[in-house]
Amino acid sequence: MNIFRFAGDMTHLISILVLLLKIYATKSCSGISLKTQELYALVFLTRYLDLFTDFISVYNTVMKLVFIASSLAIVWCMRMHRAVRRTYDKELDTFRHYFLIAACFVLSLILNEKFTFQEIFWAFSIYLEAVAILPQLVLLQRSGNVDNLTGQYVFFLGAYRAFYILNWIYRYITEPHFSRWIACVSGIVQTALYADFFYYYFI
């Protein structure tokens, strides 16, 4: 664990807390893409399959459980909560995210670090996370309106990616056998998508 990894984890957690605050405080999910949230839930469920096989630390296990539980809670609220689901912008959230899932799964079968069940799904989760924000960005572009909490949510997600890139650079310098090239390349792609958002909405 280094400071960049910890900062990345914390900003990721803050982004989720901001989104939960928006939903529970306002009883609204307006401006939030359900499809992006479903993609993130799938990312965490497939990435953390090692919860059943490997124990790294209490911190690691707790963070994995928090990300899984919070992503599922957000999806549940947007789909099932009586008040929240009525505010969902279904007409604007039309990105065909199933194509992203299919493309990322095929890519994970071709490009992976080891052809095993767990490693394939780890690679799948990395590829999917890189593009999971696309339905959200498309929704915001179509609505033409970004409220403060939604903007903060996307900002903290972008900050999380930036800190993780610094984490990979730090590990590449300090660890002789660090070779997470799939995560590094996917992270750069994801950060580029956030940079585009920041350019159009904050500059």
Among the listed residues 66, 87, 79, 96, the one whose alpha carbon sits nearest the alpha carbon of residue 34: 79
pLDDT digits (tens, 9 = 90+) for 62-101: 999 999 999 999 999 999 999 999 999 889 999 999 999 9
Q: Model pTM? A: 0.87
pLDDT at 199: 59
Distance separating alpha carbons of residues 47 and 42, to the nearest angstrom = 8
pLDDT digits (tens, 9 = 90+) for 113-148: 888 889 999 999 999 998 998 898 888 888 776 777
What backbone torsions phi and psi does residue 133 show, to the nearest 5 degrees?
A: -75, -15
pLDDT digits (tens, 9 = 90+) for 22-32: 898 889 898 89
Q: Is the pLDDT of residue 201 over 60?
A: no
DSSP letter, residue 51:
G
pLDDT at 149: 76
With contact defined as beta carbons under 8 Å apart, do 11 and 177 qualify? no
pLDDT at 114: 84
Q: What are the C-alpha distances in Å from 185 to residues 28, 92, 102, 189?
A: 35, 30, 19, 6
pLDDT at 196: 66
- Cβ burial, residue 199 (10 Å; 0-12/13-18/19+): exposed
pLDDT digits (tens, 9 = 90+) for 148-196: 777 788 888 888 888 888 888 888 788 787 667 777 777 777 777 777 6
pLDDT digits (tens, 9 = 90+) for 35-66: 999 999 999 999 999 888 888 899 989 999 99
pLDDT at 112: 86
Residue ranges of the domains in the chain?
Answer: 3-196
